Amino acid sequence: MVANRVERGRYLDSVALMRISRRVGALAGVEAAALMIGTPSNKALLREAGLLSADGERAEPDDLVIAVRAADADAALKAALEMLAEKPAPGTERHAGSLRRALELEPQANLALISVPGEFAAAQARRALERGLNAMVFSDNVPIEEEVALKRYAKERGLLLMGPDCGTALIGGAPLAFANAVPRGDIGIVSASGTGLQEVSSLIARMGGGVSHGIGVGGRDLDERVGALGMLAALDMLEADPGTRTLVLISKPPAPRVAQSVLERVRGSKKRAVVCFLGSEQPGLARTLTEAAEQAMQKALGAPPASAGKAHKGEVRGLYCGGTLAAEAALVLRRAGASGECLDLGDDRYTRGRPHPMIEPELRNEHIPAALADARVAVLLFDVVLGYGAHADPAGVLVQALEGSRKAAIASVTGTEQDPQGWSRQVAALRAAGVQVAPSNALAAALAAASVT
pLDDT > 90? residue 245: yes
What integer pLDDT is reported at residue 156 of this predicted model?
97
Q: Specify the higher pLDDT residue, 98 or 51.
A: 51
Nearest to 151 by CA among 108, 246, 142: 142
- Whether 69 and 212 share a structural domain: no
What integer pLDDT is reported at residue 190 of this predicted model?
98
Q: Specify the higher pLDDT residue, 359 or 72.
A: 72
- Whether 200 and 288 share a structural domain: yes
Q: Residue 25 is part of a domain; what is its CATH number?
A: 3.30.70
- Whether 268 and 331 share a structural domain: no
Which of 85, 117, 142 lies at the terminal end of a domain, its last residue?
Answer: 85
Q: Is residue 359, in this structure, part of any structural domain at all?
A: yes
- Whether 239 and 388 share a structural domain: no
What integer pLDDT is reported at residue 12 of this predicted model?
81
Which of 252, 271, 297 lies at the terminal end of a domain, its last residue?
Answer: 297
- Whether 236 and 293 share a structural domain: yes
What integer pLDDT is reported at residue 307 of this predicted model?
65
- Whether 206 and 347 share a structural domain: no
- Whether 157 and 277 share a structural domain: yes
The confidence band for 118, taking pLDDT boundaries of 50, 70 and 90, is confident
- Whether 72 and 217 share a structural domain: no
Which of 297, 329, 344 lies at the terminal end of a domain, its last residue?
Answer: 297
- Whether 207 and 356 share a structural domain: no
Average pLDDT of the chain to the nearest whole number: 93
pLDDT > 70? residue 66: yes
How far from 401 is each of 148, 194, 431, CA to CA, in Å? 43, 26, 14
Mean of pLDDT values over 206-218: 97
Lowest mean pLDDT among 5-9, 186-190, 349-353: 349-353
Number of domains present in the structure of the chain: 3
Q: Is residue 100, in this structure, part of any structural domain at all?
A: no
The confidence band for 302, taking pLDDT boundaries of 50, 70 and 90, is confident
Nearest to 226 by CA among 200, 255, 268: 255
pLDDT in tens, 387-409: 998 999 999 999 999 999 999 99
Identify the burial level of 54 via C-beta atoms within 10 angstroms of its C-beta, where 0-12 means exposed, 13-18 middle and 19 or more buried: exposed
pLDDT in tens, 24-44: 988 999 999 999 999 898 899
Which stretches does DSSP call E strand in 155-241?
161-162, 168-171, 174-177, 187-191, 211-216
- Whether 347 and 388 share a structural domain: yes
pLDDT > 70? residue 127: yes
Identify the burial level of 53 via C-beta atoms within 10 angstroms of its C-beta, where 0-12 means exposed, 13-18 middle and 19 or more buried: buried
Q: Is residue 330, in this structure, part of any structural domain at all?
A: yes
The confidence band for 89, taking pLDDT boundaries of 50, 70 and 90, is low
Domain that holds residue 9: 2-85
Over pLDDT 90: what percentage of the chain? 79
Measured at the alpha carbon of residue 345, what is the angle toward residues 343 and 349, in degrees to the nearest 5? 105
Cβ-based neighbour number of residue 280 at 10 Å: 17
Give SS3 for 77: helix
- Whether 78 and 111 share a structural domain: no
- Whether 8 and 134 share a structural domain: no
Mean of pLDDT values over 80-106: 82
Q: Is residue 333, in this structure, part of any structural domain at all?
A: yes
Q: Is residue 357, in this structure, part of any structural domain at all?
A: yes
The C-alpha atoms of residue 414 and residue 409 are separated, in whole angstroms, by 17
pLDDT > 90? residue 164: yes
Mean of pLDDT values over 119-127: 93
Q: Is residue 386, in this structure, part of any structural domain at all?
A: yes
Q: Residue 119 is part of a domain; what is its CATH number?
A: 3.40.50.261
Q: Is residue 306, in this structure, part of any structural domain at all?
A: no
The C-alpha atoms of residue 99 and residue 317 are separated, in whole angstroms, by 46
The confidence band for 301, taking pLDDT boundaries of 50, 70 and 90, is very high
The C-alpha atoms of residue 139 and residue 201 are separated, in whole angstroms, by 23
pTM of the model: 0.88
Q: Is residue 308, in this structure, part of any structural domain at all?
A: no
Amino acid making up residue 166: C
What integer pLDDT is reported at residue 90 of this predicted model?
64
Q: Are 192 and 217 in contact (CB under 8 A)?
A: yes
Q: Which residue intervals of 240-288 are DSSP H helices?
A: 256-267
